[in-house]
Amino acid sequence: MSIKGRKVAVVGMGGVFPTCNNLDEFEQKLFSNQSLIRYWDKAVAHGKNVRSHVAGYITETEAHLQPVYSTLLQEYPETYIDLLNRIPDNNLATADIGSIWAMLSTADAIKMAGWTNAEVESEQTGVVVGSGSCGNEIQRIAWHSFFVLGKKTRFVGGHNVDRGMVYREAANVSCFIKNKGICEAIGSACATGLGNIGYAYRMISFGLQDRIVAGGAEGTALESFLGFDGMQVLSRGFEPHESSRPFDKDRNGFVCSFGAGIVCLEAYDLAKARGANILGVIDAYFNNSDGDGDMFAPSFNGQRRLWQGLLKDIPYKPDVVKVHGTSTPTGDAIELLSVVDSLGDQGYHIAAPKSQFGHMLGAAGAVEFIAAILMLKRQEVLPCLNAVNLNPEQETFQATSNWEGSKEPLAYYRDLLQQQSFTKEINSITCLNYGFGGTNSAMLISRDDK
């Protein structure tokens, strides 16, 4: 439940995105139907030991960061130099690359929000930022040094713990902006980014905070990529720009990507009173678990209950559904059929941002939330790139006796999935994200003048 009348506004956003120097370039590339995915030299270097060779990634150089390598451990970045002087050295010393991206994104989001130093450093300002992993590159080199090379623990320096701990992004952002409210990290696999924003929304709605910096980050790490490659769930066999293909009948896995997305949320009445530029309003948030005991398989019933919870007190349906859309064979089919089960097959369209920049893991929900806010701003629907041919036949599970959803093949819903961005009146958007362990998150956002 939420406090009646305590609306929550989105007043700022920032991020770090593959092949983009800033939010403006990210926006321009998305709405001109470009892909941010490319061959990853680090993956290619391992040849046939790695099945997939494409990713949406960001290098230190592209982020204007220079690693300072240890003189004791090969390839161990003890800290970073910010070549643009955006982050103080003492904050860089405690941060892995994903935490640095979270701080950079936060600075941009707060600037857009127009919060004063007094507001940022208030007891009523919180930080809720998470990721899907745990400082993999830092940890790998550190423990290889001790367990394999037999080096002393001091060789990894004094910051291995704070650069690899579970809530390192939130901690680094909090120390960077010096807020005095909450500092937390919600971890829910690939639903992390949206889950952190959803938790922040509830904290403001309940009256426990007035404003919160929220989102997710996923630092570039070959270790994360290799883990999913070992599961055989990554896309392969296509050119980079064709590799992420949600809902296409030839999809064979997702594209592993990295980045960060941070938004500034504020109690609507406070934002309105100070004349803030309100980018969007959060109307509802709901999350649940599938409850079927399966770690990986998507659940139609779990997603159906998710929609029911989200729309329980909402008298309208969204104009756009920003789907999770990973390009996995079963996941995409279940998701599309759960959407039409809840909304019907007319009156809205589906956008799949992962088709353009891949799956950013813990950052996915936050970066895709930013993409949804941009759709509201521009009144344009983002595409489902590479959804060239939808399956004209039933999915195998649709023919089983216990299937309760639509019997129509995915191709029946072709009109909902456009391969190019297009203009449309958009008053509201639903954002969906799911994660391992059966966790599901859904958020409904709308224009301020809706």
The per-residue pLDDT for range 71-125, each reduced to its tens digit, is: 998 888 999 999 999 999 999 999 999 999 999 999 999 999 999 999 999 999 9
What is the model's pTM?
Answer: 0.97
Separation between Cα atoms, residue 165 and residue 395, nearest integer Å? 42
- Check residue 2 and give its pLDDT: 44
pLDDT of residue 449 exceeding 90, the answer is: no
CATH number at residue 129: 3.40.47.10
Dihedral of the CA atoms 181, 183, 188, 193 (nearest 10)? 70
The fraction of the chain above a pLDDT of 90, given in percent, is 92
Model confidence pLDDT, tens digit, residues 309-340 = 999 989 999 999 999 999 999 999 999 999 99
Evaluate if residue 450 carries a pLDDT over 80.
no
**Is residue 235 pLDDT above 60, yes or no?**
yes
For the segment 429-440, what is each residue's pLDDT rounded down to a tens digit?
999 999 999 999
Containing structural domain, residue 422: 8-446
Give domain status of residue 1, yes or no. Answer: no
On average, the pLDDT of the chain sits at 96
Domain-embedded: residue 240: yes
Residue 4 pLDDT more than 80?
Answer: no
Integer Cα distance of 144 and 135 in angstroms: 14
List, for residues 28-68, the tens digit of each pLDDT value: 999 999 999 999 999 999 999 999 999 999 999 999 999 99
- Residues with Cβ within 8 Å of 233's Cβ and at least 6 positions away in sequence, in order, are 253, 254, 328
pLDDT score of 1 = 44
Instruction: Report the Cα–Cα distance between both ends of the chain, in Å, rounded.
Output: 23
Residue 3 maps to a domain: no
Instruction: Return d(Cα 21, Cα 141) in angstroms, integer.
Output: 29
In this structure, is residue 368 part of a structural domain? yes
Is 394 a member of any domain? yes
Is 60 within the bounds of a domain?
Answer: yes
Q: What total number of domains does the chain contain?
A: 1
pLDDT tens for 131-148 read 998 878 888 888 899 999
pLDDT, mean of residues 395-423 = 97
Using one digit for the tens of pLDDT, what is the confidence trace for 148-174?
999 999 888 889 888 989 999 999 999
Q: What is the Rg, in whole angstroms, of the alpha carbon atoms belonging to the chain?
A: 21
366 is a domain residue: yes
Q: How far apart are CA 180 and CA 374, in angstroms?
A: 30
